[in-house]
Structure 1
Amino acid sequence: MTTAEPTPTRADGSSPSRQPGGRIQDENRDPVREENLTGLADAAPVLEKEPVRTEEPGPAEGPAEGPTDHSAEDPGPAEGSVPAEDPVPAADSTVLCRLRAFAVRHPVYAVTAAAAVVHILWFFFFANSGGDLAAQDAWAEFVGRHPASAYNLAWYGGMHPVSYSVVSPYLMSVLGVRSTMMIAGTLSAGLITLILVRVRAVRNPLPCAFAALFAFLCNAMSGRVTFGLGTMFALGAVAAVFCWPRKWAENRWAKGAVAAPLAGLATASSPVAGLFLGVIAAALFLNGRRPGSYALGLPPAAVVAASALLFPFSGTQPMSLASVSLPFLFAVITLFSVPKEWRTVRTGAAVYGVGVLLTWIIDSQIGSNVTRLAMLFAGVVFLAALPYVVPRSRKWYALVIAFAGMNFWIGFKAVDDIVSTLPAASWARELAPLVDQLQEVGAERGRVEVVPASSHREASAVAPYVNLARGWNRQADMERNPIFYDDTLNASSYQGWLGRWAVHYVVLPMGPPDSNGAEQEAKLIQKGLPYLKEVWRNDNWRLFAVDNPTPLADPPAVVEKAGEGEWTLKVSAPGTVLVRIPYSPWLKLVDEKGKGVEPPQETPESKSRAHGTPKTFTNPNGCLWKAPEDAAGDEWTELLAPKAGTYRLAAPYSLRRGTACPTELRPDH
């Protein structure tokens, strides 16, 4: 039996024509594009083909001549016997053969269709409302209710949506969180298949594409919608650089004009996806491929810089030695196992490995998120390199074991994420009694601490009704609430923390708490604390009132309602008011319709003042500024109220941020 390799196909699934002599002529092949493709696997070595083994034909069974008519001698079947039927191929084997043939001829279409199917199955059977999906539900719902708000007051005192993602909350609000994941995962699978098919050095693009599809499915099972969306745009940018059409090959500016916006969109969707584009850009730069490097590297850097400048955020994502070991090991295996001619791949592996170590050594917002690049694409690289090594050699075994270990790791992690973040039934069916009690006791006039559940469902389920002292953002939680992570939590420090964040009520769910940052808190409350008084309970929740709680605003002001998008304060006398909202330059005083009020204006006399004379301002509506940092490291907001009355604080997007007080009006001036 003669073995044969599948017929090569184009990225669009059409079959190339074959010239006389057996040489395949690809009409889309472009010398310029092929030169570009060497960036992924430069001048891949061509191994000699193994001799094709053919089977010797067996002896003929029957006469060599044509059939002889024996009808006159054949008496036919005996009476009552069943005549033999010709064998009919099984229907299922025929379908599988057709599917296999279609996948070989049209790999992009086949993998994209398979991705759509598995993501639909994920939607119906595995997509719950816990884990990362809870956070993304919360952000999508917030921007849906407050699309013009630059500051979410319902989490951690206040967080900018842009610090999470510029694009994904709005897109998820329009399309739906899970629909966004299905679309992003499906298109990502199609894009990675296109890249693998177009890169000539990849000899087994279809298996590699299905390996990537499995990784995308695991990402969906872990609920990383925002990262999945960023990955989709990032793959689009990479495809623009490495799979540019032949007819536009000489127009390199057009290639950059497509790749750069996609790279920016990737970072605006997920800063982690932008970081991974930076790895590819660094690899291209170090190999002298500057245009592609600039197209993939500069837009992410610009997006991150602009976001940090306009929407400041600080935090730390933890990363353990266990988290760093596997990604670093896979980077090392890639560096030493892929062909030496794959310079860009090997350089990228080296850059990534160094980045993993630096992320582990230096605390940052990246932390364990750095592992996601390896989780998505390391298996693809191992499988693509396999045809280039001698079977059953050391490198071959290293690649096979690494590929198997990688898929076990991401598969186990995906299943563990689903199991550990599955919300208790009470979050879906029994939440109304808790919400009714919170509204009855007036919890909207203070913050509420809901002890984080293992599913973190409280981040999206309770946030629309009250301001949460915490939420679901590990970086912000570790930065603003370190007592839950540094083993300093006790009855005294917990009381101080409740006062610091002006917590008026504490909710203890009956289900399992978050294993990282909530178990000790739950045990502390269950033992009983003298400053917490239980005011209500049922089979699913316990509600505690904090004794003598700290107000959200100091006298002469009282917070009448603390909403997720706007606070309403009643000020009984003119003066300076400390408001316990972490300061943001976007905070603004607004009227009843949510429009910004007129900020302080310099008087006409001041504009014509003599040199050295202090400026003077009118301040009819009030203004805000950042309070000095206190002993706990908090920088709250201060309101200068020119008169008694009602003041409303919000954070609408506008060209002129906030309602800042001029320096001359501040009491500390």
Structure 2
Amino acid sequence: MSTADRRLLAREATISTAVAATLAAFLLWATPPGIDWAAHAYQRTFLLQHGFQIWNNFWYAGRNSFITYSLIYYPLAALLGIKVLALASIAMAAMAFSIVVFGQWGHVSRLSSRSFAVLWVGIIGAAAFPFALAVSFALLSIWALQQGRRGRFAVGSVLTLAASPLAFVLLAVVVSGAALARGSLRNVRVQIAVLAGCAVGELLLYRLFGDGGRFPFQTLQLLPGLIFCGIGLMVTRGVAAAKPLYGLFWIYLAALLTAYVVPSSVGSNIERIRYLALPLALIAVALRHWRPLWLVVPAVVLAAVWNATPIAVSFLRVSSDPEASPAYWQPAIGYLQAHLSPSWRVEVVDTVEHWPAAYLPDAGIPIVRGWYRQSDFPQNELLYDGGLGARGDEGWLRRMGVRYVLLADAPT
């Protein structure tokens, strides 16, 4: 890389990092908490109060915490605080993304890296902070690969998995896509060995501590991802510089179909790559010089819509949620603390944003359900059956050891 290119890279990385950090700071400190915020706040509090306890008796009639969801996020959040860690994760991801795409494609990646700096901040609306932390590690791992630092790639892969198994899956998709583009396993054996070793370790943890939960993945959720992959393949086909993207779209297509067919805790979460949809599309069309317009314009528009939709929905939901305040739940908490025996649990009829899953356990009140929908299956699957009657409901409450049922007047 020439001196001029290094200066341009430093400039782009600085701009992307500064933009992402500024926007993230504003959203973190000046807007309502994101959708999953309370879940992370509760688990951070649980860690501070009880240490790294694997078993948590306050969610889902008892479940394993941390070990299969995120090993390192909550200790780091306890040390730095949720907001500071989120800010660092987002800024680091923006910096690493700009370096990775510039290192691969040069100055044509500038629009892509800047769009990532703006759009990636939208993850704050969902408050998917373990995933955000893991993505920053994943991007640093890819950067290490570009530099030929296989040891650093191995460390980054382990950190990615420890922060979020979902992000590790997406890292494996990217690395596999690059290997497919090469058409040979000659120079990727170390990467494959590292990823395979991490995957085996994670599967062992799920075997030992998993709850058998699964996250739904409906056909209507699958279709946008298939369209994104299809258009991506059309845009990158035959473009020599876009071979890594071409391989990525093929591997991601396979990952989508696998997650759809095979029930697992991943489910429709595999589509979280949509937070990078527009930056990826902008690279793809730039590599073919924005021609032909009939192909590249729809590709960019559809990617932008798919990218922006979850961000807009997240912020609209959190800005109008009446149940987010602790004061809303205080009367119920006070009553339950005065009347609930330690031998019983509480069933809270689920609300739109699941806030009671944070406030009641934080007050020492065990509940039957919790924050993560995938953990409802198969234990609480009957609650999703339209034919559940009074007898079935009563039987389920008795099996779960429920003494009180709490029905809020917030949206359910």
Q: Same fold (TM over 0.5)?
A: yes
2:224, 2:306 within 8 Å by CA — same for their partners in 1? no
Structure 2 partner of 1:136: 40
Which amino acid in 1 is paired with 2:214?
A: T
Structure 2 partner of 1:438: 336
Please give the alpha-carbon distance, in whole angstroms, between the structure 2 residues aligned to 1:429 and 1:476. Answer: 27
Structure 2 partner of 1:343: 243
1:449, 1:507 within 8 Å by CA — same for their partners in 2? yes
Please give the alpha-carbon distance, in whole angstroms, between the structure 1 residues aligned to 2:209 and 2:70. Answer: 11
**Correspondence for 1:500 among 378, 391, 399:** 399
Structure 2 partner of 1:178: 83
Structure 2 partner of 1:405: 302
Aligned residues: 402
**Correspondence for 2:312 among 412, 415, 427:** 415
Describe the SS at the equivalent of 1:193.
Answer: helix
**Correspondence for 1:475 among 374, 377, 384:** 374
User: Where in structure 2 are the equivalents of 1:226-245 lying within 5 Å?
Assistant: 226-242=130-146, 244=147
Which 5+ residue runs of structure 1 have no aligned equivalent? Answer: 1-6, 16-103, 245-251, 514-669
**Correspondence for 1:371 among 253, 271, 276:** 271
Check if 1:151 corresponds to 2:55.
yes
Displacement of 1:483 after TM fit? Answer: 1.3
1:237, 1:260 within 8 Å by CA — same for their partners in 2? yes
Displacement of 1:449 after TM fit? Answer: 0.8
Describe the SS at the equivalent of 1:166.
Answer: coil
Structure 2 partner of 1:322: 220
User: Where in structure 2 are the equivalents of 1:39-188 lying within 5 Å?
Assistant: 106-128=11-33, 131-161=35-65, 162-188=67-93
Please give the alpha-carbon distance, in whole angstroms, between the structure 1 residues aligned to 2:89 and 2:299. Answer: 27
Displacement of 1:502 after TM fit? Answer: 0.4
State the Cα deviation string for residues 375-433 of structure 1 (Å, max 9, x = none): 1333222211223336552xx33332222222223323222123234531573324332
Which amino acid in 1 is paired with 2:152?
A: V
Please give the alpha-carbon distance, in whole angstroms, between the structure 2 residues aligned to 1:10 and 1:291. Answer: 30
Displacement of 1:511 after TM fit? Answer: 0.8
Describe the SS at the equivalent of 2:386.
Answer: coil
Check if 1:198 corresponds to 2:98.
no
1:256, 1:291 within 8 Å by CA — same for their partners in 2? no
Which amino acid in 1 is paired with 2:12?
A: P
Tell which has more relative contact order, 1 or 2 (C-alpha 8 A, sep 6+): 2
Identity rate, percent: 22
State the Cα deviation string for residues 89-137 of structure 1 (Å, max 9, x = none): xxxxxxxxxxxxxxx8711111101111000111123341x62222222
Check if 1:277 corresponds to 2:144.
no
Displacement of 1:145 after TM fit? Answer: 1.2
Which amino acid in 1 is paired with 2:175?
A: A
Please give the alpha-carbon distance, in whole angstroms, between the structure 1 residues aligned to 2:170 and 2:188. Answer: 17
Describe the SS at the equivalent of 2:217.
Answer: coil
Structure 2 partner of 1:360: 260
Which amino acid in 2 is paired with 1:153?
A: N
Displacement of 1:301 after TM fit? Answer: 0.9
Please give the alpha-carbon distance, in whole angstroms, between the structure 2 residues aligned to 1:426 and 1:278. Answer: 36
Of Structure 1 and Structure 2, which has the larger fraction of its residues in helix? 2
Larger of the two Rg values belongs to structure: 1
State the Cα deviation string for residues 573-616 of structure 1 (Å, max 9, x = none): xxxxxxxxxxxxxxxxxxxxxxxxxxxxxxxxxxxxxxxxxxxx
Describe the SS at the equivalent of 2:68.
Answer: helix
Check if 1:455 corresponds to 2:353.
yes
2:213, 2:378 within 8 Å by CA — same for their partners in 1? yes
Which 5+ residue runs of structure 2 have no aligned equivalent? Answer: none
State the Cα deviation string for residues 286-309 of structure 1 (Å, max 9, x = none): 432324632662353144124224
Structure 2 partner of 1:427: 325
User: Where in structure 2 are the equivalents of 1:490-529 lying within 5 Å?
Assistant: 490-513=389-412
Please give the alpha-carbon distance, in whole angstroms, between the structure 1 residues aligned to 2:47 and 2:109. Answer: 40
Which amino acid in 2 is paired with 1:449?
A: E
2:225, 2:271 within 8 Å by CA — same for their partners in 1? yes
Please give the alpha-carbon distance, in whole angstroms, between the structure 1 residues aligned to 2:155 and 2:164. Answer: 14
1:167, 1:268 within 8 Å by CA — same for their partners in 2? yes
Displacement of 1:491 after TM fit? Answer: 1.2
Describe the SS at the equivalent of 2:346.
Answer: strand
In structure 2, the CA distance between the partners of 1:294 and 1:271, relative to structure 1 (3 Å rule), is: same
Give the structure-1-normalised TM-score. 0.57
Describe the SS at the equivalent of 1:278.
Answer: helix
Please give the alpha-carbon distance, in whole angstroms, between the structure 1 residues aligned to 2:150 and 2:246. Answer: 24
2:24, 2:121 within 8 Å by CA — same for their partners in 1? yes
Which amino acid in 2 is paired with 1:352?
A: Y
Which amino acid in 2 is paired with 1:434?
A: A
Of Structure 1 and Structure 2, which has the larger fraction of its residues in strand? 1
